[in-house]
Amino acid sequence: MTASPALVAPWRIGVDVGGTFTDMVLRDAAGAVRIFKSPSVPADPSEGVLGVLRLAAKQLDITLTALLRDCALFVHGSTVATNTILEKKGARVGMLTTEGFRDSLEIRRGIRENQWDHRAPFPQVLVPRYLRLPVRGRIGADGTELTPLSPEDVDAAARVFAEEGVESVAVCLFNAFLDGAHERAVGGQLAKAWNGKWVSLSSEVMPTMGEYERGSTAVVNAYVAPKVTSYLRALDEQLRQFGLPRSLLLLQSNGGAVSVDQVAARPVMLVLSGPAAGVGALKGCAAPGEKANLISMEIGGTSCDVMVMARGDVPVTDELTIDGYHLTTPSVEIHTVGAGGGTIAWVDDAGLLHAGPQGAGARPGPAAYGLGGENPTVTDAQLVLGRLRPGPLAGGAVTLDAELARKAIETKLAKPLGLSVEEAAAGVIRLLEQNLLHAVERLSIERGHNPATFTLVAAGGAGPMHGTAVARALGCRRALLPRAAGAFCAMGMLQSDVRQDYLQVFLADLDKVETAALEAGFAQLEARAREALARDGFGEAEIMIERQLDLRYDGQQWPVRAPLSASGFDAAGARQAFETEHQRLFGHIQPGGRIDITALRVVGRGRLDWTPPAARSPQTDTPQPRETRKVWIDPATGWLDVPIYDGTDLRPGCRLDGPLLVEERTTTAFVGPRDVLEVDERDDFLVHVGSAPPPHSNGEVPASSRAEGS
């Protein structure tokens, strides 16, 4: 990106902190996009944020103050909440529960991630039993008070918390999702009787039904709050001092942004901050307003996040698991598998080849890094096959040594299996791509979609290397390889709205519900949404409100979410919306069956209109490759001389036949022999996927028909 024109103020900045790199994307008022990448600083992520900002200022030849002063919107995806949990560095938490139910948190409903792995312990409980204290008082199943709250019990607990050095308290009382009055009274009394300041009430963090998950959510909130909130406030203050005119926004698990002030009480909403920005990024892959069908694979060093956007919408659920802890925060549906560039390939004690799920991480990383890693990884295989360039990577942060890669694959894979080094390396890639394919198939089957009718978006630094092959196996005709694949989520942050989700459990028969009570419930949630968005500076015209109902057939466990039309509630319309969704998800309906309402939901959005990237001038000449390199194609073809293009030479309208490689700043794209590369009007790489290779040469071909239920 040399000789770029000067920036046009104001601009927006998105910063995504990852495990290895901190990515920054800047888009100015004219739509010009700049990408910067610098190493993350795990010990103090704000150092990484400031580091990438300083790097950007330097490369743009302006001061840090100038960079921040003209930044109208700063959206940040922070892993600080996630890492606090993963590294077990949260606060000492105490918990108050209704007498008789203090063990729900530790019983965990008996949920095992993998029941066969019964020797694996549960993750450590975040509040020890001796700090989970009972309170007398009971709310009944209809929300009325059965027994009054016992203030003595709260006082007694407060004394224990003080003695034990508790820093943060979670409160989850039985049936508090129906009425939070007892919890609020506990909170009020703690404020007087206890000297700590962090109190998380389950009815305020997320008032879902189910004492285990609601309590677990309140506990995780209490666990991360002191650290995360202090960190975010300090970072915000620092950026403001450098000149940022408006408080930074954080990206939440629901895919929308929120101000520091509003997330301060509920930092548990930030657990998916980062990957959830994939929603904004996917929106940027479609035309404005287009109801696009996209499946994204964001492939990083050790894992791949899969997300499905159907008719322009990515589902938000109440289910999120982080390191074995269950949360009911509104979260974008993401399926994660252990498959990435650093995935380790190995041969088991009975001679079978495997890829993953273990990864080599950033250190020691792939064998080719020369940092002591001896296990062959996917990156090593790509290097051996000529698809990655040996030498410095990511601005010299690491160097790829092809000889080390070759040696690792030869000794650990090729020799034990009796294969050539190329065959072994190609086998590793095929296994990885099979794993990616299975991950996409899982999410789409579970959600009742046919992936062949979607466009596959392959993002993350390693995505464009595998996107075309996986799309072919899925039966997709097109694969989209974003030019900024390696900064996909940071890009998404520039394209996210502010979003707040509100929920009220509401139990009624759909056909008999009192419309007035339903309207009153919605009106209350909507007022909260509008008030919160107004506090973040949104005017009436920029606020969008959506009402949804959770509905299920009588006796079913899982509700289906049905949007309500703008004209208001009508039972017949809601039934129809429910049946359509139920048919698609589960393959059947029960005509005339009793439908229960289980919850009212309001989604409030504050629109942040974004300038689409400026159109680049179209391709007029025939682009020339910068070089050719020998690249291994497949066992039938062997090695071919493959042209290597520099991504900046390819402009909208350009069409090239594969095989070819495109090198971009944050990624390398591989396009196979039967595929055609096109640069689309948004300047991204769109691959028209060719037919499958001849039979018997590959373990995967598209399926003729797909799971659409019985």
Partner 1 sequence: MNLDPVTLALVQNRLDHISHQMGWVMTRTARSPIFSQSHDFSCFIADARGTLISQADGIPIHTGGGGFAVRAILRDFKDAIAPEDVFLLNDPYTAGGNHLPDWVITRPVFVGAKLVAFACNRAHQADIGGGAAGTYNSAATEIFHEGIRLPVLKLIEAGKVRDDLWRLLMLNTRLPEALDGDLRAMIGSTRIGAERLALLVEELGVDRADEFFEGVLDHADRRFQTCIDRLEQGVWKGEEPVDNDCFEPIDAKIAVTITVKDRRLVVDFTGTSPQVRGFKNSSIANSTSAVFMSLASFFEPDLPKNEGAFRSVEIRLPEGTLVNARMPAPMTMNTVFVAHEIIHAMWKALAQALPERASAGWSKAVHAVTAGLRDDGGRYVMYQWAGAPAGGGVEGRDGFHLIGHLITLGGLTLPNLETYEQLYPARFHRQELRCDTAGAGRFRGGAGCDYEVEIFTPADYAFRGEGAGAPSSFGVAGGRAGAGGEVVLTLSDGTRIQAPKYGVERHGPGTYRALSPGGGGYGDPKTRDPERVLRDVRDGIVSAECAEKNYAVAIAADGKSINKKRTNQLREETPWSTVAPSSSAP
Within residues 394-413, the interface with partner 1 by CB under 8 A covers none
Nearer to partner 1, 3 or 352 (CB): 352
User: Which 3 state secondary structure label does DSSP give 589?
Assistant: coil
CA 548/CA 337 separation, integer angstroms:
31
Could you tell me if 427 and 439 are in contact, meaning their C-beta atoms sit under 8 angstroms apart? no
CA 19/CA 45 separation, integer angstroms:
10
Strand order in the sheet with 93-98: 132-135, 93-98, 168-172, 198-201
CA 563/CA 548 separation, integer angstroms:
4
Q: Which of residues 427-456 bind partner 1 (CB under 8 A)?
A: 427, 430-431, 434-435, 438, 441-442, 445-446, 448
Element spanning 579, H or E: helix 571-586
Does 29 contact partner 1 by CB under 8 A? no
| Rounded least distance, CB 291 to partner 1, Å | 24
Q: Which of residues 548-577 bind partner 1 (CB under 8 A)?
A: 555-558
Place of tokens 């499946």: 295
Nearer to partner 1, 303 or 698 (CB): 698
Q: Which of residues 472-511 bind partner 1 (CB under 8 A)?
A: 507
Site string for partner 1, 526-545 (x = CB under 8 A): --------------------
Nearer to partner 1, 373 or 448 (CB): 448
Does 319 contact partner 1 by CB under 8 A? no
Could you tell me if 210 and 222 are in contact, meaning their C-beta atoms sit under 8 angstroms apart? no
What sign for the dihedral angle of Cα 398, 400, 401, 407? positive
Q: Site size for partner 1, by CB under 8 A?
A: 78
Does 516 contact partner 1 by CB under 8 A? no
| Rounded least distance, CB 423 to partner 1, Å | 7
Place of tokens 């189910």: 210
Does 700 contact partner 1 by CB under 8 A? yes
Q: Which of 16, 23, 211, 526 binds partner 1 (CB under 8 A)?
A: 211
Does 581 contact partner 1 by CB under 8 A? no
Does 20 contact partner 1 by CB under 8 A? no
Stretch in the footprint of partner 1 (CB under 8 A) among 199-207, 644-652, 678-686, 694-702:
694-702
Nearer to partner 1, 307 or 443 (CB): 443
Q: Which of 20, 78, 84, 175 binds partner 1 (CB under 8 A)?
A: 175
Could you tell me if 684 and 615 are in contact, meaning their C-beta atoms sit under 8 angstroms apart? no
Give per-residue burial for 13-35: e unless 16+ CB within 10 Å, then b.
Answer: bbbbbbbbbbbbbbbbeeebbbb
Q: Which of 61, 348, 514, 609 binds partner 1 (CB under 8 A)?
A: 348
Does 620 contact partner 1 by CB under 8 A? no
User: Phi, psi at residue 51, to the nearest 5°?
Assistant: -60, -45
Does 512 contact partner 1 by CB under 8 A? no
CA 606/CA 604 separation, integer angstroms:
7
Nearer to partner 1, 173 or 232 (CB): 173
CB atoms within 10 A of CB 477: 16
Nearer to partner 1, 19 or 134 (CB): 134
User: Which 3 state secondary structure label does DSSP give 634?
Assistant: coil
Nearer to partner 1, 65 or 697 (CB): 697
In the 3-class helix/strand/coil scheme, how is 187-254 assigned residue by residue? HHHHHHHCCCCEEEEHHHHCCCCCHHHHHHHHHHHHHHHHHHHHHHHHHHHHHHHCCCCCCCEEECCC
| Rounded least distance, CB 420 to partner 1, Å | 11
Q: Which of 60, 419, 544, 676 binds partner 1 (CB under 8 A)?
A: 419
Q: Which of residues 222-261 bind partner 1 (CB under 8 A)?
A: none
Helix count and strand count (H, E) for the chain: 18, 36
Could you tell me if 237 and 174 are in contact, meaning their C-beta atoms sit under 8 angstroms apart? no
| Rounded least distance, CB 123 to partner 1, Å | 12
Could you tell me if 276 and 282 are in contact, meaning their C-beta atoms sit under 8 angstroms apart? no
Site string for partner 1, 256-285 (x = CB under 8 A): ------------------------------
User: Which 3 state secondary structure label does DSSP give 698?
Assistant: coil
Q: Are strands 478-481 and 455-459 parallel, antiparallel or unpaired?
A: parallel
CA 496/CA 18 separation, integer angstroms:
18
Site string for partner 1, 92-121 (x = CB under 8 A): --------xxxxx-xx-xxxx-xxxxxxxx
Nearer to partner 1, 160 or 640 (CB): 160
Nearer to partner 1, 539 or 695 (CB): 695
Q: Are strands 316-317 and 331-332 parallel, antiparallel or unpaired?
A: antiparallel
CA 291/CA 581 separation, integer angstroms:
17
Site string for partner 1, 350-369 (x = CB under 8 A): xxxxx---------------
Give per-residue burial for 289-315: e unless 16+ CB within 10 Å, then b.
Answer: eeebbbbbbbbbbbbbbbbbbbeeebe
Site string for partner 1, 51-70 (x = CB under 8 A): --------------------
Nearer to partner 1, 146 or 534 (CB): 146
Does 195 contact partner 1 by CB under 8 A? no
Q: Which of residues 122-161 bind partner 1 (CB under 8 A)?
A: 122, 128-130, 140-141
Nearer to partner 1, 176 or 228 (CB): 176
- What are the angstrom distances between the C-alpha of 72 and each of 32, 67, 87, 246? 15, 10, 34, 7
| Rounded least distance, CB 109 to partner 1, Å | 5
Q: Which of 426, 456, 481, 599 binds partner 1 (CB under 8 A)?
A: 426
Does 644 contact partner 1 by CB under 8 A? no
What are the structure tokens assigned to 287, written together? 């035309």
| Rounded least distance, CB 634 to partner 1, Å | 11
Nearer to partner 1, 56 or 133 (CB): 133
| Rounded least distance, CB 383 to partner 1, Å | 18
| Rounded least distance, CB 503 to partner 1, Å | 15
Could you tell me if 131 and 164 are in contact, meaning their C-beta atoms sit under 8 angstroms apart? yes
Nearer to partner 1, 221 or 698 (CB): 698
Does 705 contact partner 1 by CB under 8 A? yes
Nearer to partner 1, 400 or 510 (CB): 510
Q: Which of residues 587-616 bind partner 1 (CB under 8 A)?
A: 587-588
| Rounded least distance, CB 224 to partner 1, Å | 23
Could you tell me if 390 and 401 are in contact, meaning their C-beta atoms sit under 8 angstroms apart? yes
Nearer to partner 1, 18 or 94 (CB): 94
